[in-house]
Amino acid sequence: MTYVIVGHCINDSACVDVCPVNCIHPRPDETGFATADMLYIDPELCVDCNACTEACPIDAVMSADKLPPELAHYAQVNAEYARRGRR
C-alpha cells in the first residue's frame, strides 16, 4: 500500500518536510518545484507511515485504499510522475 497526493494539493510541501524516506517530489530544493502543478508520492518508495497525511494542511494526502472513487485516478498520476522521475 502507498499514500497518494490528490488534485487539490497546493504545493505547501509540509509533507516533504516530514517524509522519512524522501519519496515526495518535487522537493522545494529541486528545480521542478517552482513550476510543479502538484506534488507526487513515489509508490515504490513510500513506507506507508502516514506522516504526510497528518502534515498536510488541506487533507490532500490519502491512503491509496481510502481514495474516494472520484479521486481514484490519482494513484496512477502519482505513480506515473514517479516513474518518469526515476528514468
Partner 1 sequence: MTLAKALNVAIIGAGPSGLYAAVELLTCCAHATVDIYDRLPALGGLVRYGVSPDHARRRAVTDVYERRAFATGRYRFCGNVDVGFDITHEQLLQHYHAVIYSSGAAGDRSLDIPGEKLPGSHAATDFVAWYNGHPDHVEDVYNFACERAVVIGNGNVALDAARMLLLGPEQLARTDIADHALRALASSRITEVVMLGRRGPAQAAFTLPELLELEQLPDIDVVVNAPAFLLDDAGLNATQSMRLAVLRRLAQRRLTANKRLELRFLRSPVAIRGAGSVASVITDSTRLVADDAGVRSEVTGEQEDITAGLVIRAIGYRARPLPSLPFDKDGNTIPHHDGRVSDPVTGRSLPAVYVAGWLKRGPRGVIGSNKACSRETVHSLLQDWHAGALVQPHYDPQTLTMQLKKGGARLVDVHGWRRIDLAERQQGAQQGRSRRKLCTREALLAAAGV
Of the candidates 87, 72, 85, 75, which has an alpha carbon nearest to the alpha carbon of residue 25?
85
Q: Say if strands 61-63 and 24-25 run parallel, antiparallel, or are unpaired.
A: unpaired
Q: Does 70 bind partner 1 (CB under 8 A)?
A: yes
The smaller minimum CB distance to partner 1, of residues 67 and 77, is found at 77
Count how many Cα atoms sit within 13 Å of the Cα of residue 69 in the half-sphere of its side chain: 0
Site for partner 1 in 38-67 (CB under 8 A): 38, 57-60
- Using CB under 8 A, list all residues that contact partner 1: 6-13, 28, 32-38, 57-60, 70, 73, 77, 80-81, 84-85
